[in-house]
Structures are given as structure tokens and as C-alpha cells.
């Protein structure tokens, strides 16, 4: 998300949390922007449908019951999001878990009161049944995937043999008992899968990788489909 888009979202959150009008000067100081920029941001939010009352010199307030068009979810969609964010909050690393709870709070904060109560008192839960705590490498791995960064990896295989590799991470799977990383391995010259709990050391390689994440993911999916087809063929024979 761009810097301005992030600021607009945070501005909307700040207004939502206020029960009284807040001055433009205070908002501008909070977000480190000029008054002119703040006024422009307010106009942008209004243009996107935000019901913001107020004017310069008076203060601004988000009227109760405001619902962004993208937040017009069905009951099943809301239940799916609640269950999904609760699962992430209980299974992912602390940084991602905090983000999941924040996202849910943001959604709940702009729902009408009746619908919010229905979601908050729903009976869908995702208890924490993990046998082990998330690995400390997960935030670094997630950021590398997002930023398309190469990583230097120290890794122990199933036989406890340690190798040093440079990888291009592009996907990660969060299972109940472990986290798996999919990456292009420069050492092997092919796609490899790594268990996060076997990572011994991890650091940024100081460069991005030469392909796009989407391109790697597409090639990996094709390869996995071919492998699956070959396995099915072998089983039939």
C-alpha cells in the first residue's frame, strides 16, 4: 500500500476512534503533514464516501454508522473473515497476529452497531493448538517475500546436515504444526521447500532477486501440477 493510501486509512481510523470533533491542526501534527495536505486528505475521503462532518477551524468527526462500500459483506463473508483473522492471530508470528487483530478491529469499527454485535458474539473460534511457538524468522521471511528480496540461509536438513544457501522466497504456508517456505534455491538451481523450524540463520542478501514473485509462483505452480500428474500416472501404472 502506498504511503498516502496508508495515511488515509490511518486518518479514517483516527476519526473513527474520536467521539468529539478533532481539529485539523491536531490531525496534521499527528500524521506529520501540512494543514493543506490534511484538508486534501479529508476531501479525498469524502470523495470516497466517508461521511465526515466539520470544516477548517471547527474540527472534523466521522459520523456514526459510516460503512465503506468495500465493507458491504454478507453474513457468511464476515464470518469467514472473523474465523480467518482469529486463526492468524492464534497461529502466526506475533507481528502478523497483531496485524490480524488490528484488521478485525478496523472492520468491526465501521460496521453498524447491530451487525458489529452479531460478529463480536458469533460462535466461530480458532483455538491455539500449535505444538510449538512460531519461529523468529517468520517476519523476515514474510518481508522478503513481499519485497522480492534474496536471502542468505543457513539450513539443517532432515539428517541435520547444515548447508549455506541463497534463496529467492516467494510463498509460505502456515500449517498447524509447522511453517513451510517455497523458494528458488541458487545452490540447487531449482525450486525447493524449506521448513521454518530448520532455519539456523537468515539475513538479507542485499539485493532483490531477478524474477518477479508472480513469475516464480507461476513457474512453481506449473512444476507442481506436472509432478502431481506424474504421480497420478505412476500410481495408475
What is the tally of structural domains in the chain? Answer: 3
Residues 45 and 82 in one domain: no
Which string of b and e fits 99-125 if b means at least 16 CB within 10 Å? ebeeebeebeebbeeeeeeebeeeeee
Residues 144 and 212 in one domain: yes
Residues 78 and 154 in one domain: no
Q: Does any domain span residue 183?
A: yes
- SS3 at position 114: helix
pLDDT the model gives residue 119: 77
Q: Does any domain span residue 226?
A: yes
pLDDT the model gives residue 228: 87
Q: Does any domain span residue 130?
A: no
Q: Is the dihedral of CA 206, 208, 210, 211 positive or negative?
A: positive
Query: Which residue stretches of 70-212 are H helix?
Result: 75-91, 94-109, 113-120, 138-147
Determine phi and psi for 119, rounding to 5 degrees.
-70, -45
Residues 232 and 158 in one domain: yes
CA–CA separation, 185 vs 150, rounded Å? Answer: 10
Query: What H or E segment, with its residue span, contains residue 183?
Result: strand 179-185
Left if phi > 0, otherwise alpha if psi is -120 to 50, otherwise beta: which for 133?
A: beta
CA–CA separation, 69 vs 50, rounded Å? Answer: 10
Written as tens digits, the pLDDT of the chain (237 aa) is 447 777 887 888 888 888 789 999 999 999 999 999 999 999 988 887 788 998 888 899 988 765 454 455 667 778 888 888 888 888 888 899 898 888 888 788 777 777 778 777 878 887 766 666 778 888 999 999 999 999 999 999 989 999 999 999 999 998 877 889 999 999 999 999 999 999 999 999 999 999 999 999 999 999 999 988 888 777 776
The contacts of residue 130 (CB under 8 Å, 6+ apart) are 90, 91, 176, 177
Domain containing 35 equals 3-62
Q: Does any domain span residue 129?
A: no
Residues 155 and 181 in one domain: yes
Residues 48 and 74 in one domain: no
Contact 63, 21 (CB under 8 A): no
Residues 150 and 231 in one domain: yes
Contact 22, 61 (CB under 8 A): yes
Residues 144 and 214 in one domain: yes
Residues 143 and 200 in one domain: yes
DSSP notation for 61-98: EEPTT---GGG---HHHHHHHHHHHHHHHHHS-HHHHH
Helix 113-120 to helix 94-109 angle, to the nearest 10 degrees? 140
Which CATH number is 22's domain given? 1.10.10.10
Q: Does any domain span residue 227?
A: yes
CA–CA separation, 82 vs 126, rounded Å? Answer: 10
CA–CA separation, 172 vs 199, rounded Å? Answer: 14
Q: Does any domain span residue 128?
A: no
Residues 201 and 224 in one domain: yes
pLDDT the model gives residue 56: 84
pLDDT the model gives residue 129: 65
pLDDT the model gives residue 182: 96
- What pTM, to 2 d.p., does this model score? 0.63
pLDDT the model gives residue 233: 77
Amino acid at each position: 500500500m502506498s504511503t498516502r493510501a496508508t495515511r488515509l486509512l490511518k486518518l479514517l481510523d483516527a476519526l473513527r476512534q474520536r467521539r468529539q470533533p478533532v481539529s485539523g491542526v491536531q490531525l496534521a501534527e499527528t500524521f506529520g503533514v501540512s494543514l493543506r495536505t490534511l484538508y486534501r486528505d479529508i476531501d479525498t475521503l469524502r470523495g470516497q464516501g466517508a461521511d465526515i462532518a466539520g470544516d477548517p477551524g471547527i474540527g472534523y468527526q466521522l459520523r456514526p454508522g459510516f460503512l465503506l462500500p468495500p465493507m458491504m459483506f454478507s453474513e457468511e463473508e464476515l464470518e469467514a473473515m472473523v474465523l480467518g483473522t482469529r486463526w492468524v492471530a492464534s497461529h502466526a508470528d506475533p507481528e502478523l497476529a497483531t496485524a490480524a487483530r488490528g484488521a478485525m478491529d478496523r472492520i468491526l469499527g465501521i460496521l453498524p452497531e447491530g451487525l458489529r454485535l452479531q460478529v463480536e458474539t458469533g460462535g466461530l473460534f480458532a483455538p491455539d493448538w500449535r505444538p510449538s511457538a512460531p519461529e523468529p524468522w517468520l517476519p523476515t521471511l514474510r518481508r522478503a517475500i513481499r519485497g522480492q528480496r534474496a536471502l542468505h540461509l543457513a539450513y539443517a536438513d532432515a539428517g541435520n546436515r547444515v548447508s549455506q544457501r541463497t534463496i529467492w522466497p516467494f510463498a509460505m504456508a502456515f500449517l498447524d504444526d509447522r511453517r513451510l517456505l517455497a523458494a528458488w534455491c541458487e545452490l540447487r538451481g531449482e525450486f525447493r521447500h524449506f521448513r521454518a523450524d530448520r532455519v539456523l540463520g537468515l539475513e538479507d542478501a542485499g539485493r532483490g532477486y531477478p524474477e518477479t514473485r508472480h513469475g516464480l509462483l507461476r513457474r512453481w505452480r506449473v512444476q507442481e501440477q506436472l509432478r502431481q500428474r506424474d504421480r497420478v500416472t505412476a500410481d495408475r501404472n
